[in-house]
Amino acid sequence: MRTLLLLAVVTAVAQAATRPTIEEARKFVDDAEKQLLVLGIEGGRADWVKSTYITDDTEALAAKADERGINATVDFAKGSAKFKDTPLPEDIERKLKLLRLALTVATPSNPKDSEELTRIVAGMEGTYGKGKYCAQADHCLDLEDLTKVMAESRDPKQLLDAWVGWHAIAKPIREPFARYVELANKGARELGFADTGAMWREKYDMPPDAFAKELDRLWEQVRPLYLSLHAYVRGRLRERYGAAVVPANGPIPAHLLGNMWAQSWENIYPLVEPKDSGPGYDLTQILKTRNTDAKEMVRYGERFFTSLGFAPLPTTFWERSLFTKPRDREVVCHASAWDIDYVEDLRIKMCIDITADDFLTIHHELGHNFYQRAYDKQPFLFRDSANDGFHEAVGDTIALSVTPAYLVKIGLLQTVPDPSKDISLLLHKALEKIAFLPFGLMIDQWRWKVFAGEITPEQYNRAWWELRLKYQGIAPPVARSETDFDPAAKYHVAANVPYARYFLADILQFQFHRALAGISGCRDPLNRCSIYGNQEAGRRLNTMLTMGASRPWPSALAELTGSRQMDARAIIDYFAPLQKWLDQQNKGKPVGW
């Protein structure tokens, strides 16, 4: 026994003698941050050009720059494993964890596989960005054109034609996507993850399975409200299009909801608005009547943030951003915010229309930019949000303050509409936010199952529509088969962008808004509160933003809200008057599908 104890002591001493030191770990992290910053800037510039000037050459250059950045990150992530048994200070430990989880796609160590994977990822996004539906050889419609058709048309045949036409552009992505899954999983497993989906889920400061259960918990909190909204909308669409098109108690056909992916339904508000009760104003018409241009739309968003005490955007933002669609080249119009140098080279890329929707989208994208600048004094590996749902939530939190009272303050409305108009405003907001929740959940539910091998390539499309039926109560408007690849008709699938962040953002923004409304002293119903001009609310918000990713997200959440747990009940609080009204409208009618 004594001999065994002595042997154990000797072994422990020997291991300690060969274990890397704290100083070595710190140097490793410092080197990683320096190199990844340089490669991140290089990749950001290449990706910007690729997205704002789509050609085969810009795709190839961006793919090569991305490959360098990804490969370096993979090398550092693998190198970090040697410190797993070294007791480390909290900041170094967290940086090593973030380094290991920094990627949305991990390239395999084999150079040929690595090059192939980055080329596939760039190519899938390029195929999506160049996608067009050509009903006739001389008449082609891109996604921007088709989006307008889906939003504005009330002809079910025209809507069906646009829906089928756009979804056809995803068919060529099916084969490269299957190869992408294979190679991405190979890279993830080399880093010690079960698959790419598990790698994505582990970013949330909890085990992958626990994170999946957390999403289910949040969904169950809001599912009753979604069911009520779905039943009401289905009934009104049935009145509009007839029993032959919309069933009384089944799923809603996907092409009738005003959006190419039926992910948000606000464009069909005129079809389902409360009878004899409009919102009292049309923000789109107000903006157009004032001859508002794209830059002024962005100025409105900037002024909201500066009213909270944030510094104005840098001059380079206005010089380098893309605000309108160029006439001379292909661009990815999908709105996005950029932080090219991780300090002050902030930009947005967006093909702005003068609409209420884009007015809100601008607030969302600027939320990213002001968040990026708030944490720019953090070490490089902490220059990110507490989790990616936080990044998406911040701008939308501000957009929840775009209330009638706010529009009066900035001169876009003369008077605040009577409280009797609130149901109309809440219904419109629910068509955007509540309708989105199950879609935001199922996108990654599908991909996690694909990465895990639970959904094979032979089942891609069938499984996609099974999940859409389960969560959304939505069905394809025409028969689909495995010759189709409808998941990649959505940008984030084609472009390898995880989607759970958007579901989390939908939850978090209401929790943030409730906390900020309380800080600002608002005593009105939550849907009527705006924090515009309240610098104490801005100060508290900025305190959370400046933390970046330096602490686990529950700490950042607690900094603003006082709670360490995400809570969807803030949504129930916000929409309480609407829930009561929907229950009255649905009385005696089928709910569910």
pLDDT of residue 447: 98
Give the span between the Cα atoms of 190 and 108, in whole angstroms. Answer: 7
223-270 pLDDT tens trace: 999 999 999 999 999 999 999 999 999 999 999 999 999 999 999 999
Q: Would you say 308 and 537 are in contact if contact means Cβ atoms under 8 Å apart?
A: yes
Residues 6+ apart with CB under 8 A from 148: none
Interstrand relation of 346-349 and 139-142 (parallel, antiparallel or unpaired)? unpaired
pLDDT-derived band at 103 (thresholds 50, 70, 90) equals confident
- pLDDT attached to residue 7: 45
- What pLDDT does residue 420 have? 78
Query: In whole angstroms, what is the distance from residue 560 CA to residue 73 CA?
Result: 32
Question: Considering only CA atoms, which of 430, 152, 501 is closest in space to residue 265?
Answer: 430
Lowest mean pLDDT among 6-10, 53-57, 88-92, 544-548: 6-10
The answer to whether 269 is a known catalytic residue is: no
pLDDT of residue 18: 66
**Distance in angstroms (rounded) separating the CA atoms of residues 27 and 435:** 48
pLDDT at 121: 94
In this prediction, residue 362 has a pLDDT band, given cuts at 50, 70 and 90, of very high
Helix (H, G, I), strand (E, B) or coil at 133: strand
Q: How many angstroms separate the Cα of 103 from the Cα of each of 74, 106, 343, 492, 493? A: 8, 6, 21, 15, 16
Told to judge if 513 belongs to the known catalytic residues of this protein, a careful annotator would answer no
Q: Which of 155, 163, 212, 223 has the alpha carbon at shortest distance from 475?
A: 163
Catalytic residue among 255, 334, 391, 428: 334
Q: In the prediction, which pLDDT does 1 show?
A: 52
Whole-angstrom Cα distance, residue 435 to residue 84? 43
- 382 has pLDDT over 50: yes
Mean pLDDT of the 338-351 span: 95
255 is an active site residue: no
pTM for this entry: 0.87
Q: How confident is the model at residue 6 (pLDDT cuts 50, 70, 90)?
A: very low
pLDDT, residue 191, reads 86
pLDDT at 2: 54
Q: Which of 116, 365, 432, 559 is catalytic?
A: 365
For 461-497, what is each residue's pLDDT tens digit?
999 999 999 999 999 999 999 999 999 999 999 999 9
Give the active site residue among 391, 428, 492, 513: 492
Q: Which residue in 133, 502, 532, 574 is the catalytic one?
A: 502
Q: What does the pLDDT look like over 487-524, one tens digit per residue?
A: 999 999 999 999 999 999 999 999 999 999 999 999 99
Catalytic-labelled residue, pool 363, 364, 391, 428:
364
Q: Which of 230, 368, 391, 428 is catalytic?
A: 368
| Residue range 552-563: mean pLDDT, rounded | 96
pLDDT at 11: 45
C-beta separation of 63 from 122 below 8 A: yes
Catalytic hit among 72, 335, 452, 558:
335
**Minimal CA–CA distance to 40: which of 326, 275, 319, 384?**
384
**For the chain, what is the mean pLDDT?**
93
**Distance of alpha carbon 373 from alpha carbon 425, whole angstroms:** 32
Mean pLDDT of 212-219: 94
Per-residue pLDDT, 137: 75
**Known catalytic residue at 62:** no
Of the pLDDT bands very low, low, confident and very high (cuts 50, 70, 90), residue 330 is confident
Active site residue 14: no
Could you tell me the pLDDT band of residue 538, with boundaries at 50, 70 and 90? very high
Q: What pLDDT, on a 0 to 100 scale, did the predictor assign at position 78?
A: 83
Q: Confidence band (pLDDT; 50, 70, 90) for 124?
A: very high
The DSSP secondary-structure symbol of 1 reads: -
> Among the options 125, 392, 432, 559, which is catalytic?
392
* Strand-strand pairing, 474-475 and 252-253: parallel
Contact 167, 131 (CB under 8 A): no
Tell me if residue 368 is catalytic.
Answer: yes
